[in-house]
């Protein structure tokens, strides 16, 4: 109780001054505020903004922990110090303490930088704007470490987070006012600013970049390659992983997006806790399948030959697209962001479908941007208000017609 009362006293002391929002935020983040009503005839809804955010974070924790194991596993396999999975999901080669430690050593600093920089900016803006610190960054801060390569330099991440929070969110007026998903803005910034650190066959494996530098200096001999499946397919090479590996997530990729299984569980958790929209998730999957089927049809009708540079990705079985790359993660955790998605039910179907559809389109036709999901969601974020506008106008028109029929 000591700390709580101290914080409360500090808050009282700074009430009405410039720093008040900062102290208020720390106090309410750690404890229930003293001012809360404890009894009386109030309707209490448990799902306030903070609870909503916490639910999403809980849904992502398994992905984060899996990402730590996977980072260590990919490192050990690539460097020849560990063996490839042999016994399915619960292989001892994967779930070893050593893997976890290697992964945690790299991923925890990313998490700390993501939250540290993001929250610092939120605090600064709250003090300048004289309003309370918003909870909006809690989810973004968790999303960011999951969608970057494990070897990303921390200072780049810090620059990108600062850019994403200021330009992606604060200039529009803070949480709830942003047009683009802040986490994806951060990733898009990294992707365009430092493309060598966001794509290629090195950054996905911890230590591979360093190995490359040592080779350049003439100290080591074996280059490490950890190409993602999308990267291999874009070069018309074999993926080299079977479907179960893709589904469980024993593949190279951004930290938290490899395991379709865990993303699926997280998605179900969000749907049953009524936080995430099942309409968006389902329609996005449908969109991706439709686009995948179209490409498969093009290949089987013989319009595209094996010499085409699109052959590798086009001939990928349509449902494999759901398992590789960041599609599943983006659909479940990014597309469903309630602020940037469509608000109307009909709008959500259109919005989700187009995300899935465009994701696969970009993925196949522009191998320079292997992560079509990111660009597709950002694009649809921009269009979400337009979709809503026409859905609402359509409804208005329909009701006007009904009214006229009634009065006539």
Partner 1 sequence: MGLLSKKDAQLITDPLADNNPITIQVLGICSALAITAELKASLVMAISVLFVLGLGNVVISLMRNIIPSKIRIIVQLIVVAALVIIVDLVLKAFAYELSKTLSVFVGLIITNCIIMGRFEAFALGNGPWKSFLDGIGNAVGYGVILIIVGFFRELFGSGTLFGIPVLGDPIAKTGLYAIGYENNGFMIMPPMALIVVGIIIWIQRTKNKALIED
Residues that bind partner 1 (CB under 8 A): 153, 155-156, 159, 167, 171, 189, 192-197
List Cβ neighbours of 290 (8 Å cut-off, separation of 6 or more). Answer: 353, 356, 357
Q: Which is nearer to partner 1, 163 or 319 (CB)?
A: 163
Q: Which is nearer to partner 1, 41 or 196 (CB)?
A: 196
- Cα gap 182→173, rounded to integer Å: 13
Least Cβ distance, residue 194 to partner 1 (angstroms): 6
Q: Which is nearer to partner 1, 167 or 265 (CB)?
A: 167
Q: Which is nearer to partner 1, 188 or 285 (CB)?
A: 188
Q: Quote the strand ranges of 86-245, DSSP E.
A: none
Both tokens assigned to 138: 């809690």
Q: Which is nearer to partner 1, 88 or 153 (CB)?
A: 153
List Cβ neighbours of 192 (8 Å cut-off, separation of 6 or more). Answer: none
Q: Shortest CA distance to 257 belongs to which of 230, 275, 217, 218?
A: 230
Q: Which is nearer to partner 1, 129 or 397 (CB)?
A: 129
**For tokens 């939250």, what's the residue?**
115
Q: Which is nearer to partner 1, 170 or 257 (CB)?
A: 170
Least Cβ distance, residue 203 to partner 1 (angstroms): 13
Least Cβ distance, residue 171 to partner 1 (angstroms): 7
Q: Any alpha helices (H) in 194-259, and if so which ranges?
A: 195-198, 208-216, 229-234, 243-248
- Cα gap 334→357, rounded to integer Å: 16
Least Cβ distance, residue 195 to partner 1 (angstroms): 6
Least Cβ distance, residue 193 to partner 1 (angstroms): 4
Task: Output DSSP code: residue 42.
Answer: -
**For tokens 């914080």, what's the residue?**
7
| Contact predicate 336/270, CB 8 Å | yes
| Contact predicate 150/205, CB 8 Å | yes
Q: Which is nearer to partner 1, 194 or 311 (CB)?
A: 194
List Cβ neighbours of 159 (8 Å cut-off, separation of 6 or more). Answer: 189, 193
Cα-Cα-Cα-Cα dihedral sign, residues 47, 50, 52, 55: negative
Least Cβ distance, residue 90 to partner 1 (angstroms): 39
Q: Which is nearer to partner 1, 46 or 217 (CB)?
A: 217
Cα atoms in the Cβ-side hemisphere of radius 13 Å centred on 347: 23
Judge residue 26's burial from the number of C-beta atoms within 10 Å of its C-beta, 0-12 exposed, 13-18 middle, 19 or more buried.
middle
Least Cβ distance, residue 192 to partner 1 (angstroms): 4
Least Cβ distance, residue 131 to partner 1 (angstroms): 17
Least Cβ distance, residue 5 to partner 1 (angstroms): 38
């Amino acid at each position: 109780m000591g700390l709580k009362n101290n914080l409360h006293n500090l808050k009282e002391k700074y009430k009405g001054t410039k720093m008040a929002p900062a102290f208020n935020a720390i106090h309410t983040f750690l404890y229930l505020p003293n001012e809360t009503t404890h009894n009386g005839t109030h309707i209490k809804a448990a799902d306030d903004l903070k609870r909503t955010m916490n639910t999403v974070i809980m849904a992502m924790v398994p992905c984060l922990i899996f990402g730590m194991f996977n980072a260590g596993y990919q490192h050990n396999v690539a460097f020849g110090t560990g063996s490839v999975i042999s016994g399915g999901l619960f292989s001892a080669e994967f779930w070893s303490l050593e893997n976890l430690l290697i992964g945690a050593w790299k991923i925890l600093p990313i998490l700390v930088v993501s939250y540290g920089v993001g929250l610092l900016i939120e605090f600064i803006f709250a003090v300048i704007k004289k309003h309370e610190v918003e909870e909006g960054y809690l989810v973004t801060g968790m999303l960011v470490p999951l969608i970057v390569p494990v070897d990303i330099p921390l200072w780049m991440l810090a620059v990108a987070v600062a850019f994403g929070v200021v330009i992606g969110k604060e200039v529009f007026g803070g949480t709830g006012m942003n047009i683009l998903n802040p986490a994806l803005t951060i990733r898009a910034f990294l992707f365009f600013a430092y493309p060598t650190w966001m794509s290629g066959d090195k950054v996905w494996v911890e230590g591979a970049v360093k190995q490359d530098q040592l080779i350049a200096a003439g100290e080591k001999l074996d280059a490490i390659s950890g190409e993602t499946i999308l990267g291999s397919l874009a070069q018309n090479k074999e993926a080299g992983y079977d479907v179960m590996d893709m589904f469980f997530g024993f593949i190279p990729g951004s930290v938290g997006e490899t395991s379709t299984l865990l993303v699926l569980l997280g998605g179900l958790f969000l749907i049953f806790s009524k936080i995430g929209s099942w309409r968006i998730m389902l329609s996005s999957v449908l969109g991706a399948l439709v686009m995948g089927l179209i490409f498969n049809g093009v290949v089987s009708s013989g319009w595209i030959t094996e010499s085409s540079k699109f052959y590798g990705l086009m001939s990928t079985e349509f449902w494999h697209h759901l398992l590789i790359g960041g599609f599943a993660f983006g659909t479940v955790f990014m597309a469903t962001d309630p602020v940037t998605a469509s608000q109307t039910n009909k709008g959500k179907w259109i919005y989700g479908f187009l995300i899935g559809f465009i994701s696969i389109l970009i993925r196949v036709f522009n191998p320079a941007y292997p992560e079509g999901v990111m660009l597709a969601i950002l694009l649809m974020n921009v269009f979400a208000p337009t979709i809503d506008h026409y859905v609402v106008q359509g409804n208005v028109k329909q009701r006007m017609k009904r009214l006229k029929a009634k009065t006539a």
